[in-house]
A = this chain, B = another copy of it.
Amino acid sequence: MSESPNTPKLSVIGGRPVRPDGVDKVTGRALFGADFAVAGQLCGRVLRSPHAHAKIISIDTRKAKALAGVKAVVTGADFPNLKSEVHEGGESSSDLRDLAMNVIAREKALYEGHAVAAVAAISPKIAEEALRLISVTYEALPHVLEVEAAMAADAPILHDHMRTGGVKPAPTTASNVAKRHIFERGDLSQGFADADVTYEGRYTTQAVHQGYIEPHACVAQWGEDGQCDVWCSSQGHFMIRAYCAKILNLPLSDVRVTPLEIGGGFGGKTTVYLEPLALALSRQSGRPVKMVMTRDEVFRATGPTSGAAMTVRLGAKRDGTLTAAKVELKFQAGAFPGSPVGAACMTALACYDVPNFEVLGWDVVTNTPKVAAYRAPGAPIVAFAVESAMDELARQLKIDPIELRLKNAVRDGVIAAYGPKYRNIGYVETLEALKASDHYKAPLGPNQGRGFAVGFWFNIGGESTASVHISEDGGATVTTGSPDIGGSRASMQMMAAETLGLPVERVRAKIADTASIGFSNVTGGSRTTFATGLAVIEACRKIIADATRRAVGTWGVEADKVVWTHGQVELLDGSKPPLTLADLAKESGKTGGPMSAEVALNAQGAGPGFGAHLCDLEVDPETGHVSVVRYTAAQDVGRAIHPAYVEGQIQGGVAQGLGWALNEAYLFDRDGRMENPGFLDYRMPVASDLPMIDTILVEVQNPRHPFGAKGVGETPIVPPLAAAANAVRSATGLRLNDLPLAPPVILAASDLAKAAE
């Protein structure tokens, strides 16, 4: 919407060219994780714990190994015992010891589905038979699933060695609390004392899964010479390389990981599950091993995000000015530490300029699958709590909810609740754009309500490598190490075409394996278009400098007599025809060799994302069924490189957020076994559940990116949980603080409310 006066006219950026990955995906040519095969591969399968918490007394694999067709059987004993060591992985960090123990259990199984052994055999049938022949002696232990139960003094302890971090003095007794986080500013008591109105609520959310359609899959080959190959779908093949190498004690350069197409990740494919098992099975068998999870395994053994219990207390002046906020977050980490509660604490008040606050977070292990990153990790959970509370505050104050946000909105120059000073943020513009929308003024029908909520995500930069190669006919190939999850091939192609002055179809964007391109962090943190894009643009600029140098040499003129413009080098005096990239590429052998540039960088200044959402929904008073009838998401996207993908990102985030709000949840039986590990019982929204999601792209450009891009992919999932809950409140008068807002919950609350009338 706003346009920097310094921006040159763009001819490619902001257009909507045909998506470069589209034909591949709709015709089935794209090779996803399970589509890849190599000759002689074995079929790998995993034996998983039936217990939510158990000591592993012994594992007898002799019968399985003796079965004809079984080529390898591995258990935890086949893997090195790693020291506790934090590995920074871009968006998230992992303790390598925990990571390895999650890949395959050692002394204890910590959740139902925890890998205990793995086999490789010549057929799936034999592999499954071999699993049945493995005899594991367990000593079942009491388990704990819920976060607050796990924090109780008498809770079963998952890790005897674990002491709560971030607490002084350091505790001397074991606890399920892995870490305490605190962010504070000002004087909280004074803040609440200054308030004319306060509101406090307690909120819970359930564990939900990222729900990517493609299950985890890989093929791994361990060479007799120790050279390993892995082919898999992930959010980052360098991450796969690093984790496999660490878990198996290999040099990084001995592992080559080739990325396959990824069928959804949403953060859940930023870690390893099968790959180290497949490598270990390949080492033992001398054969390549392919492993593909079932949906059941994906649910039971891969990362959902945390279930949480939260309290929010807000204090405000009569005019709406916030004086104090107190937020306490208790997050399930699953079987090993590392819930997103730290990020949740940081985002809790990121939209608010509030002088006095305390945000306290608890990272708590539970006998559930280790959580993994899920799109804006932690932020939707805490936003559900804070934005629900803000909605009630607005009601108490009788202030329009958008006005209340505007009143307390962070702006450029404000110190964010999580530390840095905001610059070039588009939050107010986003609020105003939504306020000005038709949707905000539209009337509601019977049983309908309208909810409003805002959301924030940091967006990150990080390390990326890109190379650009000009072929002899003047076309360009742009190669990166970033898997394309949400359209990065399109954005790389467009940024390169814009920079080089080429038509977009003369640029092809490719993703190279770990041996063919420099290190690149995972595609996550909404970093790719920003950070990998910067590397692409820098590499294109190197090409331009090189092209200009070659033209200067060809013409035999001074460097200051030529200029690069519109994809060609021109003589300022116009005395000769310009030299296009194609002209120069054709002669490149004579002017120094191929035209090629590679740039590796650690990008900074991604620019945070702010979103503001309106949700209209209708509640059926008979059944409690909620239908979303209209939804508008406004977001500051910096600059939409390919607006259709940006809109798609926003629509996808909203869809996931609404699923989380309305239906999704892990359900466990009394033994801690998941009861709904399939898409029939774990209810994600499908196309027919949702209306068209309208989007408003607000473009407050990011000066740290040549085309003004900010991250866009995560922010859209942050507001919908609260927007939906606030809309149910608007439709029904019921303030529901426990997700999901499934029909039985709504009916029960409605009945209770009626009974109380």
**CB-CB contacts of A19-48 with B at 8 A, as 1s and 0s?**
010111001010100010111000000000
**Complex formed: what's the CA distance from A31 to B463 in Å?**
32
A187 to chain B, nearest CB (A): 36
A260 to chain B, nearest CB (A): 12
B517 touches A515 (CB 8 A): no
Instruction: List the B residue with the shortest CB-CB distance to A29.
Output: B223
- In the complex, A471 has a CB within 8 A of chain B: yes
A253 touches B515 (CB 8 A): no
- 5 example contacts (A-B, Cβ-Cβ < 8 A) are as follows A18-B225, A465-B594, A513-B516, A519-B596, A595-B600
**Complex formed: what's the CA distance from A421 to B589 in Å?**
23
User: Which stretch, A173-181, A342-350, A472-480, A719-727, touches the partner chain B?
Assistant: A472-480
Known: A23-B223, A253-B471, A463-B593. 4 other contacts (CB 8 A): A463-B588, A467-B518, A477-B515, A596-B600
**Complex formed: what's the CA distance from A508 to B251 in Å?**
10
**Complex formed: what's the CA distance from A471 to B244 in Å?**
14
Q: Which of A23, A225, A592, A601 has the most CB of B within 10 A?
A: A225
B253 touches A475 (CB 8 A): yes
A463 touches B253 (CB 8 A): no
Chain B residues with Cβ under 8 A from A476's Cβ?
Answer: 253
A517 touches B516 (CB 8 A): yes
A515 touches B519 (CB 8 A): no
B596 touches A518 (CB 8 A): yes
**CB-CB contacts of A439-466 with B at 8 A, as 1s and 0s?**
0000000000000000000000011110
Instruction: List the B residue with the shortest CB-CB distance to A225.
Output: B23
Q: Which of A27, A252, A601 has the most CB of B within 10 A?
A: A252
Q: Which of A88, A476, A477 has the most CB of B within 10 A?
A: A477
Number of copies: 2
- In the complex, A63 has a CB within 8 A of chain B: no
B472 touches A242 (CB 8 A): yes
**Complex formed: what's the CA distance from A640 to B510 in Å?**
37
- In the complex, A597 has a CB within 8 A of chain B: yes
**Complex formed: what's the CA distance from A343 to B520 in Å?**
46
**CB-CB contacts of A538-573 with B at 8 A, as 1s and 0s?**
000000000000000000000000000000000000
Chain B residues with Cβ under 8 A from A513's Cβ?
Answer: 512, 516
Instruction: List the B residue with the shortest CB-CB distance to A468.
Output: B518
Given contacts A227-B508, A469-B517, A518-B596, contact A477 B602 (CB under 8 A): no
- In the complex, A598 has a CB within 8 A of chain B: yes
Instruction: List the B residue with the shortest CB-CB distance to A507.
Output: B253
Of B38, B252, B286, the residue contacting A471 (CB under 8 A) is B252
Chain B residues with Cβ under 8 A from A738's Cβ?
Answer: none
Of B35, B471, B603, the residue contacting A519 (CB under 8 A) is B471
Task: Number of A interface residues at 8 Å Cβ cutoff, please give it.
Answer: 68
B-facing residues in A647-669 (Cβ within 8 Å): none
**Complex formed: what's the CA distance from A735 to B225 in Å?**
51
- In the complex, A254 has a CB within 8 A of chain B: yes
- In the complex, A221 has a CB within 8 A of chain B: yes
**Complex formed: what's the CA distance from A603 to B593 in Å?**
8
**Complex formed: what's the CA distance from A674 to B594 in Å?**
42
- In the complex, A290 has a CB within 8 A of chain B: no
Given contacts A464-B593, A467-B598, contact A224 B27 (CB under 8 A): yes
- In the complex, A245 has a CB within 8 A of chain B: yes
A516 touches B520 (CB 8 A): no
Instruction: List the B residue with the shortest CB-CB distance to A471.
Output: B252
A232 to chain B, nearest CB (A): 17
Interface of A is mostly: mixed
- In the complex, A53 has a CB within 8 A of chain B: no
Instruction: List the B residue with the shortest CB-CB distance to A221.
Output: B29
**Complex formed: what's the CA distance from A568 to B593 in Å?**
30
Instruction: Give the 7 A-B CB pairs with smallest separation, nearest first.
Output: A518-B596, A253-B475, A598-B598, A252-B471, A519-B594, A516-B516, A23-B225
B24 touches A253 (CB 8 A): no
A473 touches B251 (CB 8 A): yes
- In the complex, A639 has a CB within 8 A of chain B: no
**Complex formed: what's the CA distance from A601 to B475 in Å?**
19
- In the complex, A97 has a CB within 8 A of chain B: no
**Complex formed: what's the CA distance from A254 to B223 in Å?**
33
Chain B residues with Cβ under 8 A from A23's Cβ?
Answer: 223-225, 227
B-facing residues in A577-596 (Cβ within 8 Å): 588-590, 592-596
Q: Which of A245, A251, A253 has the most CB of B within 10 A?
A: A253
A518 to chain B, nearest CB (A): 3
Chain B residues with Cβ under 8 A from A475's Cβ?
Answer: 251-254
- In the complex, A216 has a CB within 8 A of chain B: no
**Complex formed: what's the CA distance from A507 to B517 in Å?**
15
A545 to chain B, nearest CB (A): 14
Chain B residues with Cβ under 8 A from A603's Cβ?
Answer: 593
A231 to chain B, nearest CB (A): 12
B598 touches A602 (CB 8 A): no
A253 touches B594 (CB 8 A): no
A463 touches B594 (CB 8 A): yes
B594 touches A597 (CB 8 A): no
**CB-CB contacts of A114-127 with B at 8 A, as 1s and 0s?**
00000000000000
- In the complex, A256 has a CB within 8 A of chain B: yes
Given contacts A251-B475, A473-B251, contact A518 B594 (CB under 8 A): yes
- In the complex, A62 has a CB within 8 A of chain B: no
**CB-CB contacts of A501-533 with B at 8 A, as 1s and 0s?**
000011110101111111110000000000000
A529 to chain B, nearest CB (A): 17
Chain B residues with Cβ under 8 A from A18's Cβ?
Answer: 225
Chain B residues with Cβ under 8 A from A469's Cβ?
Answer: 465, 515, 517-519
**Complex formed: what's the CA distance from A588 to B22 in Å?**
36
B589 touches A463 (CB 8 A): yes
Instruction: List the B residue with the shortest CB-CB distance to A475.
Output: B253
Of B24, B241, B479, B506, the residue contacting A515 (CB under 8 A) is B479
B-facing residues in A215-251 (Cβ within 8 Å): 221, 223-225, 227, 241-242, 245, 251
